[in-house]
């Protein structure tokens, strides 16, 4: 008698969240962004995952057609908080439709832009930028550091620093008990209910204090703050915890890319290559088509915000999308040529690689669900070309 193979537990939404987070961690997203699970229950089963650019009625219909219980969208469906979940807004209508259909929606936006594969590779590959020169236009912040700042009477500083260090703060590389302090004057007036360590109740007191700063890991914050309260002599302890935004150049991750062509090319050559390989149906050009360019900055999606970064990188040309009139005019004044390929064209082209990478990741992780790349068009614009000399019925009314 042949033993049957044991049943394999189905994938869950939570399994795919972990898989997506491993490749595109939410910590790499911009502070204004809204990545992560937006509709659904992490415990729900997943047999197919639909990867798409935007959540629309067409992509939800496509998810139903493929039997996809999870939609991974590049653009967040719920970008801003909703006061109510009703069909009166486009996000509310689509979120309700997804929930009613039992479809979970997860967004990977600027964290995907910054990752590998991200949304800029279609441009850099189409142009053949030298890999040895490629670097992020705006590197992601290094993960895992916070700074605690507190104010301590001078005679107690070293004791408090020691307590914070024992709790895990103040470690930099092979060194511990690392801190920085600068002296100043603190003021306070204790109320009649207070029991001050220094000063007089009811009077404004001034005390010489050290501003003490130490670095710590996010996982140590709770323990270090508890140690601070335990060691600090004051009845009420003033402190702040700040995230440290340090570029993580070593990771190679970040928004956009900048690199050099093997040799200078006319600007029109850059535009032609982008139009042919992305493809970009609504491409626009700002600059002399015959001017030579070599260093190219690129960003998939909307690129107004990184024009200054492109200029700082001494780029000759910036390829991106959604460029507005005045930022473009200012960039041209500073000598930067620009190619606008449209917001969705480059990002849509990138999703083929994203789907392939997640398929490979899922196989190595032992997940069963199939990844399906959306074919539903979500570009809202169509090119309109008026027919010169054509007769229109309304013309008769104008006479």
Going from the C-alpha of 88 to that of each of 37, 146, 152, 186, the distances in angstroms are 22, 41, 54, 53
CATH number, domain 146-243, options 3.30.465.10, 3.40.50.1260, 3.30.70.120, 3.40.50.620: 3.30.70.120
> How confident is the model over 344-380, as pLDDT tens digits?
889 999 999 999 999 999 999 999 999 999 999 998 8
**CA atoms of 103 and 288, how far apart (whole Å):** 48
- What is the pLDDT, as a whole number, of residue 31? 86
Contact status, residue 75 vs residue 351, Cβ threshold 8 Å: no
Residues 6+ positions from 105 with CB-CB distance below 8 Å: 37, 38, 39, 40, 55, 70, 71, 73, 77, 95, 98
- Asked whether residue 32 carries a pLDDT value surpassing 70, the answer given is yes
> How confident is the model over 282-331, as pLDDT tens digits?
899 999 999 999 999 999 999 999 999 999 999 999 999 999 999 999 99
**CA atoms of 90 and 88, how far apart (whole Å):** 7
Instruction: Provide the Cα torsion 217, 219, 223, 226; round to 10°.
Output: 80
> How confident is the model over 263-276, as pLDDT tens digits?
999 999 999 999 99
User: What is the rounded average pLDDT for all residues in the chain?
Assistant: 92
Going from the C-alpha of 368 to that of each of 20, 49, 83, 362, 398, the distances in angstroms are 15, 10, 37, 7, 65
CATH number, domain 11-113+369-373, options 1.20.120.400, 3.60.130.10, 3.40.1390.30, 2.40.10.220: 3.40.1390.30
* b/e map 166-196, b = 16+ CB within 10 Å: ebbbbbeeeeeeebebeeeebebebeeeeeb
Q: What sign has the CA pseudo-torsion 308, 294, 303, 289? A: positive
Residues 6+ positions from 82 with CB-CB distance below 8 Å: 89, 91, 92, 95
> How confident is the model over 81-134, as pLDDT tens digits?
899 999 999 999 999 999 999 999 999 999 999 999 999 999 999 999 999 999
pTM exceeds 0.85: no
> How confident is the model over 49-67, as pLDDT tens digits?
999 999 999 999 999 999 9
DSSP, res 32: T
Which ranges in the chain are annotated with CATH 3.40.1390.30?
11-113+369-373, 121-140+252-346
Hey, is 210 helix, strand or coil?
A: strand
Which ranges in the chain are annotated with CATH 3.30.70.120?
146-243
CATH code of the domain occupying 121-140+252-346? 3.40.1390.30
Burial class (CB in 10 A: 0-12, 13-18, 19+), 79: middle
């Amino acid at each position: 008698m042949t033993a049957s193979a044991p049943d394999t537990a189905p994938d869950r939404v939570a399994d795919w969240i972990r898989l997506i987070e491993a490749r595109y961690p939410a910590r790499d997203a911009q502070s204004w962004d809204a990545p992560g699970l937006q509709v659904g229950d992490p415990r729900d089963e997943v047999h197919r995952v639909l990867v798409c650019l935007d959540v629309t009625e067409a992509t939800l219909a496509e998810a139903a057609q493929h039997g996809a219980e999870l939609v991974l969208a590049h653009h967040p469906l719920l970008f801003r908080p909703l006061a109510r979940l009703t069909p009166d807004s486009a996000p509310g209508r689509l979120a309700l439709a997804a929930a009613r259909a039992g479809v979970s929606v997860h967004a990977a936006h600027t964290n995907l832009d910054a990752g590998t594969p991200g949304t800029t590779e279609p441009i850099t590959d189409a142009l053949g930028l030298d890999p040895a020169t490629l670097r992020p236009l705006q590197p992601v912040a290094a993960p895992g550091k916070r700074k605690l700042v507190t104010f301590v009477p001078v005679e107690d500083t070293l004791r408090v620093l020691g307590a914070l260090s024992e709790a895990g703060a103040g470690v930099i590389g092979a060194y511990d008990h690392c801190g920085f302090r600068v002296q100043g004057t603190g003021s306070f007036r204790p109320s009649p209910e207070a029991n001050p360590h220094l000063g007089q109740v009811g009077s404004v007191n001034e005390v010489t204090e050290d501003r003490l700063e130490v670095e710590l890991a996010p996982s140590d914050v709770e323990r270090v703050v508890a140690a601070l309260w335990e060691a600090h002599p004051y009845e009420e302890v003033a402190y702040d915890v700040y995230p440290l935004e340090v570029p993580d150049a070593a990771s190679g991750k970040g928004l956009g890319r900048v690199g050099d062509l093997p040799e200078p090319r006319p600007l029109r050559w850059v535009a032609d290559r982008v139009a042919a390989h992305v493809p970009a149906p609504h491409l626009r050009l700002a600059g002399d088509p015959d001017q030579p360019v070599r260093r190219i900055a690129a960003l998939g999606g909307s690129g107004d915000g990184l024009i200054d970064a492109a200029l700082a990188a001494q780029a000759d040309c910036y390829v991106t999308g959604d460029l507005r009139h005045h930022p473009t005019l200012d960039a041209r004044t500073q000598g930067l040529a620009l190619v606008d390929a449209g917001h969705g064209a480059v990002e849509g082209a990138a999703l083929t690689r994203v789907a392939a990478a997640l398929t490979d990741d899922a196989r190595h992780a032992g997940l069963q669900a199939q990844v399906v790349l959306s074919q539903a068009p979500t570009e809202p614009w169509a090119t309109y070309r008026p027919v010169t000399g054509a007769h229109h019925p309304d013309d008769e009314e104008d006479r």
